[in-house]
Structure 1
């Protein structure tokens, strides 16, 4: 994550160092403010870097052992939906080699203009066989999938209409009783404390629950991973 977002981390380091250096040239009241800003920037940089390291490198998030709690019977025939960066399909396929897997990438460079996504795509190219898709058009027939996995992808759809379309399309491709597994950082106290203003890029828990309800998917499980990540399981009602 640091590699994908290095300009933000570099900017934080420069702000901290620059504020501290500038304080030496300012009168006392302004110098205090500059030092306070430098300390705040440095603290936020250190906290966010440590948290990112813990979540993505130390916590076992990418081992997908936690998926067993949400899908005790395994993912079955499943679709992995990414938005420019797919770090899900390979580990899930490795854990469930007999489960048929489809991969769809909903990345749209005209809408997802953040440099972090472009850098991520360069560092981690799409898996062979990945199908380019849109939120309102996933590459699967109606009611044919046991599971749809959307891991750190849905929040990249900044327009509510696109997110609603993705949830509705997910409901279409799931068989009755099938599950949507959604994994996201939330805009909550834990993420705000660590990422500061950067947590505004995440969405509140109620937003995801609302999209699921609109699509006719009901929540059946929720698990916190590494304190700052939440995994939801939503189910399409059976006949």
Structure 2
């Protein structure tokens, strides 16, 4: 049935799309332990400590990911209660090549008109995990390719824009600001933009260590919103690791 996720789908996707990271981590740990026997006795503790740290941090990241993607309310979408209720809304869902949310949104908004855009650009988005995901998950029906700086929609035609766990793939701040200008352009004066993201903050550092650098600091998000004349009407932590922003036009007409 559309919109239904399989048990442990989230953690399974993370492992099979990012297995090279975990293989590398376990490989380094094994090499460190194997090589410790060739070190002086007083130094053998260090490879063991390094191996334990690698294994523990890898396990923590997997457990946090399982919590976020399989057991939290993220994909149950109870947080949609914070979004405006609009009858027969015109909804836009934008992703970066891997779409787990359009079917879910369609099931939550059965009377809406749902348009799906994909801004994946293989020249910019070179992560092998996205390429693997695209091979496994076919695009949502009638998904349209787009750029981040020019959305093929008329101005003021969209009630709700969703960008769920994808906007961080826009790495350049200037491009991200252009993107939010475009979102504001296509938004109706009373519309909302819904963003769900990991942030580059302490909880995500604890969970993912150096992997948290792939996320964007809250200060950068706030600057992008401000430059596009969008203001935050709701900010909530869906989990300690996932943040919801709901934006509205800063100067509705």
The answer to whether the superposition gives a TM-score over 0.5 is yes
**Cα deviation, residue 211, structure 1:** 0.3
Structure 2 residue runs without a partner (length 5+): 1-13
Name the structure 2 match of 1:102: 115
Q: CA deviation at 1:71?
A: 3.3
Match of 1:25 among 18, 38, 42: 38
User: For structure 1, which runs of at least 5 residues remain unmatched after alignment?
Assistant: none
* Count of residue pairs the alignment pairs up: 239
Conservation of the 8 A alpha-carbon contact between 1:74 and 1:96: no
Q: Is 2:196 the counterpart of 1:196?
A: no
3-state secondary structure, aligned to 2:38: coil
Q: Does 1:152 align with 2:142?
A: no
2:25 is the counterpart of 1:12: yes
- Label 1:73 to 1:21 Cα distance change in 2 as closer, same or farther (>3 A): farther
Name the TM-score, length of structure 2 as normaliser.
0.90
Residue of structure 2 in register with 1:86 after alignment: 99
Q: Does 17-26 or 91-100 show the bigger shift?
A: 17-26
The equivalences for 1:85-234 within 5 A come to 85-234=98-247
Bigger Cα displacement from structure 2, 126-135 vs 2-11: 2-11
SS of residue in 1 equivalent to 2:78: coil
Residue 105 and residue 92 in structure 1: after superposition, are their counterparts in 2 closer, same or farther (change >3 A)? same
How large is the Cα RMSD of the aligned pairs? 1.5
| Deviation digits for residues 157-202 of structure 1 (CA, Å, limit 9, x no counterpart) | 1111221121111010001121111111000000000100000000
Whole-angstrom CA distance in 1 between matches of 2:159 and 2:116: 14
Q: TM-score, normalised by structure 1?
A: 0.95
Task: Name the stretch that deviates more: 127-136 or 158-167.
Answer: 158-167
Partner of residue 63 from structure 1, selected from 67, 70, 76: 76
